Structure 1
Amino acid sequence: MGRVRKSWIVGVLVVALAGVGFGLYWFQPWKLWQDETVDEALPVAVGSAAPPTGTSETGTSETGTSETGTSETGAPATGTPDAGPLTLAQGDLISHEHDTSGSVKLVRLADGSHVVRLEDLDTSNGPDLRVLLTDAPVKEGTAGWRVFDDGRHISLGKLKGNKGSQNYTVPADLDLTRYSSVSIWCDRFDVSFGAAELARA
């Protein structure tokens, strides 16, 4: 009986330790106390933008259509350089699951390429945070936490830092008239840390 009981206790401990290890890996709670500040200047130009590796525009797969290479006005993109960076839309971040502040700008650069720029971002760190460009409305409270992957959305890449000002390249063939918000999105738990509605400038 003693050996059986000892084996049972060892088995329980192994399972418990494995569970704790998996929980630490999955939730990464230490990140809530680790800040990463990234400050970038607004780029002069980013050249031809392409979708980040491993991302896709899920809204198109749902409708069976593809992006047409139009500009933010819906007209064909010409690639004609402008005088300099131009803010096309902007908005302030509101808090969702975590306290979040700062502003978001959609900027057209001199060569016709686009970036989403986060300015004075201040949010919590967390596992697998990404910057999503979406067509979802921005709602306050828990009703707005999980809506950003429901419709048309595209990941612009992993969040570079939970504090600071950063630029995220927008794919060149995206019809920007179909997108109206940006979310700091935790892809692991499908929840928004914070989001901003983009109002046309």
Structure 2
Amino acid sequence: MFRRLSRAPLTWVAVAVLGVGAAFGLYWFQPWKVVADRQVDERLSDVDDATPTGTVAADGTAPADGGVAGTTPAGTATPTGAAAGTPPRAEPTATRPVVVSRGEFVSHEHDTSGTARIVRTADGGHRLELVGLDTSNGPDLRVWLSDQPVRTGRAGWHVFDDGRRAELGRLKGNRGDQAYAVPAGTDLTELTSVTIWCQRFAVSFGAASLVPAG
């Protein structure tokens, strides 16, 4: 009888320890995310990947002759009368969003596909757009620009925290189209790759090399 009573506290301690360990394991690994996809469908820039540069008039129309908006096409008559001898007034122009660089994702720890592209926006800023991303969900996923080369296979899983990087935020969703602002002053000539990085386990789910568009 005495032995049975003396063992009871030890049993409760063991149960409590196991319960705390199980709760911590669930928090740390978050296994439910493996089967719980998060779809994101943000509006991306209206760009033509095959056309790295271009301007449009303020009304959104492109020059009819393929030139720069606001110029006078060759062969047209010059103004007469009061307007003769005065240069034509240039129409306001706006720069289209332009694809600066792009690349296709390769799989690392998890199967990953889709396109990453850096877009220069109309106001001169930059943002990273993930087009048709498809990867696994997971705990503490971040989007990084990095100066590390993209390697295939296990050799590329753990390299992106070795060099320079810029974190653009938490991954919004493991599937779909999404955009992330690139902070002003980020050196995009040095940070030439993007990774879906699991901060908790220091591993890349997938990555893409950003090759200049042209």
Range into which the TM-score falls when normalised by the shorter chain: 0.7 to 0.9
1:178 to 190, 196, 199: 190
**What is the identity, as a one-letter code, of the residue corresponding to 2:204?**
S
Moved over 6 A (4+): none
Determine the structure 2 residue equivalent to 1:37. 39
Q: Under a length normalisation based on structure 1, what TM-score does the superposition of the two structures give?
A: 0.80
Could you tell me which runs of 5 or more consecutive residues in structure 1 were left unpaired when the two chains were aligned. 45-80
Aligned mates of 1:82, 1:177 — CA distance in 2: 25
Retained in 2: the 8 A contact 1:99–1:124? yes
Aligned mates of 1:23, 1:82 — CA distance in 2: 53
Aligned mates of 2:132, 2:45 — CA distance in 1: 16
Determine the structure 2 residue equivalent to 1:141. 153
Determine the structure 2 residue equivalent to 1:119. 131
Determine the structure 1 residue equivalent to 2:107. 95
Retained in 2: the 8 A contact 1:96–1:195? yes
Task: For residue 40 of structure 2, give the secondary structure of its aligned residue in structure 1.
Answer: coil
Shift of 1:4: 2.0
Aligned mates of 2:17, 2:131 — CA distance in 1: 45
**TM alignment of 1:24-63, pairs within 5 A:** 24-43=26-45
Aligned mates of 1:128, 1:84 — CA distance in 2: 34
Matched, 1:20 2:22: yes
Matched, 1:191 2:206: no
* Greater RCO (CA < 8 Å, at least 6 residues apart): 1
Aligned mates of 1:90, 1:43 — CA distance in 2: 14
Shift of 1:133: 0.4
Retained in 2: the 8 A contact 1:82–1:112? no
What are the superposed Cα offsets for residues 17-75 of structure 1, whole Å, 9 maximum, x if unpaired?
1000000001000000001110111258xxxxxxxxxxxxxxxxxxxxxxxxxxxxxxx
Aligned mates of 1:116, 1:13 — CA distance in 2: 48
Q: Under a length normalisation based on structure 2, what TM-score does the superposition of the two structures give?
A: 0.75
Task: Kindly tell me the number of residue pairs found equivalent between the two proteins.
Answer: 165
Retained in 2: the 8 A contact 1:94–1:101? yes
**TM alignment of 1:50-89, pairs within 5 A:** 83-89=95-101
Matched, 1:132 2:144: yes
Shift of 1:82: 5.3
2:168 to 156, 166, 180: 156
Aligned mates of 1:4, 1:84 — CA distance in 2: 78
CA RMSD, Structure 1 to Structure 2 (Å): 1.3
Could you tell me which runs of 5 or more consecutive residues in structure 2 were left unpaired when the two chains were aligned. 47-92
Percent identical pairs in the alignment equals: 55
Aligned mates of 2:124, 2:198 — CA distance in 1: 30
Aligned mates of 2:197, 2:21 — CA distance in 1: 26
Aligned mates of 1:180, 1:145 — CA distance in 2: 17
Task: For residue 97 of structure 1, give the secondary structure of its aligned residue in structure 2.
Answer: coil
